[in-house]
Structure 1
Amino acid sequence: MAQETAQTPTVIRQQLINNAQLCQQLVTEIKARKPRYVLMIGRGSSDHAGVFGKYLLEIELGMPVMASSPSVFGIYHKSVDYKDALVIAISQSGRSPDIVNQVKSARASGAMCVALVNDQQSPLAQAADWVLPMHAGLEQSVAATKSYLASLSALLQLAAHWNNNSALLSSLNSLPEALNQVLAEPAQLTPDTLRNVQHGVMLGRGFGYAISREMALKLKEVLAIHCEAFSSAEFMHGPSAMLANHIQVIDVQVEDESAPVHSSQIQTFAQQGGRVVSLSHSQLTVHPRCLPLLVVLRFYVDVERIAQAYGRDPDRPQGLKKVTETH
């Protein structure tokens, strides 16, 4: 996990180079097809990348984005008409049968299907119309790190070309160096921070919420800490009652348009009894849409080190395996 996390800046630098022309070609086809909405398909970390994609495409392009329900096809054996959809299926392995079969069903109904996948020879890649490679290389740790972040950078590059966003395209070129700087920064989470913590909530807003889902999963996977992600706005609608028990609150700060209202809500939660620790990004000059990747990368480094300090194996969590196949 430590080695693969450290490879992320190099992976993303090479990905942006390799996929530049492909993204232009893909955008040309998307504009010709004129999809009315986007359907995101994925599970686990890939599903969380899809949530990031939802915020990204809705904010930057005004394109409605919905999440898939793989069980509709895989368990209930029902087909859905996706003829006006752009389907983006995200998977590191591209081998989970329910994801592959849903793409096949969507494509048969007339959808344009794109596989954002690490294994370009996988069944998912073969089932889609287009393949947008992660170029993350071999990932052996059960906990996805570089492949998740490569999913986000691929979505950013696709959105930037789709919207002809020169500012974002320029910032993506400096993203690998910003990620390298993050690797050398001080820890934000330490063994003492989470010692004896069994339950917690991770709160963000907008893109901060999107990455919170992935980060909460890593606390479950790598440290066996029960942590649930909420939008800080949604947390106010009932779950905040847990603050009376002085629950651990992990605050995910992203300095974009959401920051003022999210910070105000976190202050309120602290006053109500939450034990707050804040995670953020360094003040680097990159586009606001790139900032979430900096937060996640630092978090991955810290969590792996905490696992080692606790005597846990971060690469092989008990009861898990790298490729999860669901139906």
Structure 2
Amino acid sequence: MTASTPLFVQEALETPERIANQLEENDHTTDKLGSHLRLVSPKFIYIVGRGSSDHAGSFAKYLFEIETGIPVVGATPSVTSAYGSSIKLDGALVLMISQSGRSQDVIDQARMAKLSGAYVVGLVNDENSPLAEECDVLLPLKAGGQKVIGATKTVLTTLSALLQLVAKWTHNKELSSALYKLPDLMEQACQSEPIITNAMLNSIEHCAVLGRGFGYAIAKEITMKLMGNCCIHAEPFSSAEFAHGAVGMIDKKLGLLSVDLRDEAFAKHQQQIQEFIDAGLTVHKLKQPIFNCPERLAPLTLLQRFYLDIANVAIERGIDPDRPPGMQKMIKTF
């Protein structure tokens, strides 16, 4: 890493060390929280987040429904902040996900949730933020300061915090053991070959990012970075849903990117992607950088590599990855 290395890349490269520190420092808190959740057995899980935090919430939906069997609902914060309505959350576990902890509508959701009888857990990077003070339990992300606009390490530390929480909650010894390897796997991802290049995107005017399950969850984050950091129009789709209508956009020079994670959904996802290829469509595959990787950790390794690559894509397109056009460091929503 040199003085000319973009801050975006420097922050992304901090992730392995940040995750190692987080897993150690949050170990006792997640032990206690896991015991509490087994005792109270929430009726459902309600997740609040904006932007990249919302994408982490999509990851959490798959994670908690698969590992706990408890239904997960994504919040619509405007119901409270714009329409002034409350949600009946008695008996729910509410997860507040935020880097800054300062968006007013997210803070309002936390207050509403507590008044409604929910148990509120905050996954927040700024431990002194107003949102952190509103939560019953805080799981700090421990990502350190974010100096650039595009979130990288805060997204990845959110995912690792979610993994640690579900492992403790469900007594999943296999996942708990795998998490000890996560910092090293993330470091390996940093050293791996690129999974996306500007050459893959040069002839694409519009882009669909396809994934299945956890792959679809991180496709949302990939899409945001393609648009925000590289000025490439992109939309995320589940590969299972894409054929139900959006595939008709192919004639409009729609490029296809496939998020390839080798987990339980891999075979079904590949079957759908192969149908598109057999129909004569060009699909660029974003493959997980570490082939033999525990299934639940693979999405993190893919995102880690993608963040490093997307900075190079931006540079080759004449865009400063630290100062993408039109973006602010913190987006305030009310």
Query: TM-score, normalised to structure 1's length?
Result: 0.98
1:264 to 265, 271, 287: 271
Indicate conservation of the 8 Å contact 1:160/1:169, yes or no.
Answer: yes
Question: Aligned AA for 2:331?
Answer: T
Unaligned runs of 5+ in 1: none
Cα displacement (A) at 1:286: 3.4
2:179 to 172, 182, 187: 172
Deviates more, 1:285-294 or 1:3-12: 285-294
Matches within 5 A, 1:7-86: 7-86=14-93
Matches within 5 A, 1:222-237: 222-237=229-244
Indicate conservation of the 8 Å contact 1:183/1:301, yes or no.
Answer: yes
1:135 to 108, 132, 142: 142
Query: Number of residue pairs matched?
Result: 327
Cα displacement (A) at 1:52: 0.2
Question: Aligned AA for 2:320?
Answer: D
Match of 2:5 in 1: none
For 1:97 and 1:274, locate their aligned partners in 2 and report how far apart those are by CA, in whole Å: 44
Question: Aligned AA for 1:25?
Answer: K
Supply the RMSD in Å over aligned alpha carbons: 1.1
Once the two structures are superposed, residues 131-163 of structure 1 have per-residue CA deviations (whole angstroms, 9 ceiling, x without a partner) of 100000001111100000100000000000001
Cα displacement (A) at 1:270: 2.0
For 1:264 and 1:286, locate their aligned partners in 2 and report how far apart those are by CA, in whole Å: 22
Structure 1 residues 166 and 17: CA distance shift in structure 2, 3 A: same
Cα displacement (A) at 1:187: 1.3
Cα displacement (A) at 1:196: 4.3
Match of 1:307 in 2: 314
Question: Aligned AA for 1:2?
Answer: V
Indicate conservation of the 8 Å contact 2:98/2:124, yes or no.
Answer: yes
Indicate conservation of the 8 Å contact 1:73/1:79, yes or no.
Answer: yes
Cα displacement (A) at 1:28: 2.0
For 2:290 and 2:158, locate their aligned partners in 1 and report how far apart those are by CA, in whole Å: 23
Question: Aligned AA for 1:37?
Answer: F
Question: Aligned AA for 2:163?
Answer: L
The percent of aligned pairs where both chains have the same amino acid is 43
For 1:17 and 1:222, locate their aligned partners in 2 and report how far apart those are by CA, in whole Å: 32
Is 2:114 the counterpart of 1:107?
A: yes
1:253 to 250, 253, 260: 260
Question: Aligned AA for 2:19?
Answer: I
SS in 2 for 1:133: coil
Match of 1:318 in 2: 325
For 1:283 and 1:74, locate their aligned partners in 2 and report how far apart those are by CA, in whole Å: 42
Indicate conservation of the 8 Å contact 2:205/2:253, yes or no.
Answer: no
For 1:262 and 1:12, locate their aligned partners in 2 and report how far apart those are by CA, in whole Å: 29
Indicate conservation of the 8 Å contact 1:38/1:63, yes or no.
Answer: yes
Indicate conservation of the 8 Å contact 1:205/1:262, yes or no.
Answer: yes
Match of 1:218 in 2: 225
Match of 1:91 in 2: 98
Is 2:143 the counterpart of 1:157?
A: no
Matches within 5 A, 1:195-214: 195-214=202-221
For 2:144 and 2:126, locate their aligned partners in 1 and report how far apart those are by CA, in whole Å: 9
1:5 to 7, 12, 31: 12
Indicate conservation of the 8 Å contact 2:289/2:305, yes or no.
Answer: no
SS in 2 for 1:312: coil
For 1:246 and 1:269, locate their aligned partners in 2 and report how far apart those are by CA, in whole Å: 14
Question: Aligned AA for 2:289?
Answer: S
Once the two structures are superposed, residues 62-92 of structure 1 have per-residue CA deviations (whole angstroms, 9 ceiling, x without a partner) of 0110000101100000111111110001000
Indicate conservation of the 8 Å contact 1:243/1:269, yes or no.
Answer: no
SS in 2 for 1:54: helix
Question: Aligned AA for 2:206?
Answer: H
Indicate conservation of the 8 Å contact 2:77/2:109, yes or no.
Answer: yes
Query: TM-score, normalised to structure 2's length?
Result: 0.96
Cα displacement (A) at 1:24: 0.6
